[in-house]
Amino acid sequence: MKFSLKNYSVLLLTLPVLFWIIIYFLFNFDGLYGQDAYEYLRYSKAIYDFMINGVNPGDYFWPLYYPVFGAIVNIIIQNPSLSLLLISVFSLSISAFYLDKIIHLLFRTTTKCSTFYIVLFFLFSPYILKHGMLVMSDGLATCLIILAVYHFIKFRQEHFIKHFYLIAIFSIMAVMTRYASAVIVFPFIVITLIHFLKIKNTLKYVPVLILIMAILLIPHFLVRYSNYDAFLSHQWIQDWSVNNFFKSNFNSVDGTAYNSYPNIIYAFSNLFHPGYIFLGIIFIPLLFLKKKYFENQRTIIVSLLLYALFLAGIPFQNNRFLLLSFPLVLVCFYPIFIYLSNLSQIKNKFFLGVIFILVIQSFLIYRAIKPTLDRNYFELEITEILKPFQDRKLYSFDIDVALKGRGLKFDYQNLWEKRYMDLKEGELVLFHPIKFQKQWKDKNPMLNWNYIKSSYNLKLLKECPEGWKLYQIQTK
């Protein structure tokens, strides 16, 4: 069968769906992982309840679009966690499709080469694939950034006003999905406005732009009308500093974090980290040797630098934050991929190289996804274990969010939120006695645990997986 452009596009759109079918049905993975996922799920349910029954969803600190879209999809399929997961899956498909279009617009390349490239280094990028299978907002935000960049390039090339509006729409939506997206799209917005002002009779387009912005920002101001700018007071923003560029350990409300590299290296690590692109270590020096490849990518490079410096100043490291800018990294690397694939020594063994890369990427994907699967299975197992103990007060930390998200009915008392000095006979404590000793030393979780341990008798009710223990409080 001969592949046409349409066939290649179908491949990019359908591969993420096939990945999801395998991981969801074969591995029984529902995409719920970590505390953030359960908060997205909680608020998506609240918005759904508002849409159907008019119940006020309450306040919500994070951007609204991901749970809002989840609630809308849930109206159709009546499964809130699956709704959010499918948004991530289809965001990955659309991201791959439009990343291919961006590469074609910039480099006028062959479809076959760009498809191989995107499959190898985007769809088979371990962290990209993993987050495309999670209930997490990063995939949707990344997709919206890609769409904004695509229409930015189209606007620069064609000067059609519809692309100007679409840049505004997708940029605002990206920011309202992940606030950090604002740093990435900022250079594209500035350049767009400069070109927009060169268009004749620009004033006639301004009312439509204002209307678009007003409509897209309505959800944010409806929910956060009393503190619409509260996200700017986040501790990471308040503590942003150039001094953090050279630090690797941080002490904050999130405990004490010990990292292997200073922030400035971490902030650029999606250029070479095996979780993103293991061949980046080869691509980087070649990119600097072939400076002509930078010519039509100046705005993209400025965006990458700006976002990396923003991350470097935050007193926290999380490889998840690097997802938003990774597609732009791949755009920059694409000319090097073409250069290498055209070398006579490599050209004759191109398909062997592709197979080799797929094997390496598959191993790295396994390494990236296994801890996520293990945590998901652990949450499912401990949920089943605790079902008989419901309708009592439960003191816990970390795992309590998953228990609540999976529907267990306890009077939850989170050991991180405050100090607890007056526990009652018969109340429950679920804790891991060793896991939190280092990160949470001298913080509420360990201070509470040490106080409970010294002030009460703890009757062991259940040995739970991975070293967790369920205790019953007994007074001394």
pLDDT digits (tens, 9 = 90+) for 105-156: 998 876 678 888 999 999 999 999 999 999 999 999 999 999 999 999 999 9
- 366 assigned to some structural domain: no
Residues 309 and 389 in one domain: no
Residues 13 and 147 in one domain: yes
DSSP codes of every residue in 322-362: GGTTHHHHHHHHHHHHHHHHTSHHHHTTHHHHHHHHHHHHH
Residues 89 and 171 in one domain: yes
Return the H-helix or E-strand segment holding 428. Answer: strand 428-431
Q: Are 93 and 336 in contact (CB under 8 A)?
A: no
What's the sign of the alpha-carbon dihedral 190, 196, 198, 201?
Answer: negative
- 318 assigned to some structural domain: yes
Q: How confident is the model at residue 3 (pLDDT cuts 50, 70, 90)?
A: very low
The tally of domains found in the chain comes to 2
Q: Range of 399's domain? A: 384-475
Tokens found for residue 95: 């991201």
Residues 331 and 457 in one domain: no
**Amino acid, single-letter form, for residue 474:** Q
Q: How confident is the model at residue 223 (pLDDT cuts 50, 70, 90)?
A: confident
DSSP codes of every residue in 248-291: -EEEETTEEEE-SS-HHHHHTGGGT-TTT-TTHHHHHHHHHH-G
Which letter does DSSP use for residue 134 in this model? S
- 358 assigned to some structural domain: no
Helix (H, G, I), strand (E, B) or coil at 86: helix
- 258 assigned to some structural domain: yes
Residues 258 and 389 in one domain: no
Tens-digit pLDDT profile for residues 315-366: 999 999 999 999 999 999 999 998 888 886 677 777 888 899 999 999 999 9
Residues 400 and 336 in one domain: no
DSSP codes of every residue in 369-398: HHHHHHHHHHHHHHHHHHGGG-SSEEEESS
pTM attached to this predicted model: 0.94
Residues 453 and 314 in one domain: no
Q: Which residues contact 314 (CB under 8 A, 6 or more apart)?
A: 236, 237, 239, 240, 244, 263
Residues 106 and 211 in one domain: yes
Query: Distance (Å, rounded) from C-alpha 146 to C-alpha 310?
Result: 19
Residues 146 and 35 in one domain: yes
Residues 324 and 434 in one domain: no
Residues 21 and 136 in one domain: yes
Tens-digit pLDDT profile for residues 300-319: 999 999 999 999 999 999 99
Q: Are 196 and 164 in contact (CB under 8 A)?
A: yes
- 264 assigned to some structural domain: yes
- 451 assigned to some structural domain: yes
- 470 assigned to some structural domain: yes
- 285 assigned to some structural domain: yes
Query: Distance (Å, rounded) from C-alpha 91 to C-alpha 40?
Result: 16
pLDDT of residue 226: 65
The residue out of 320, 342, 364 marking a domain boundary is 342
Residues 330 and 413 in one domain: no
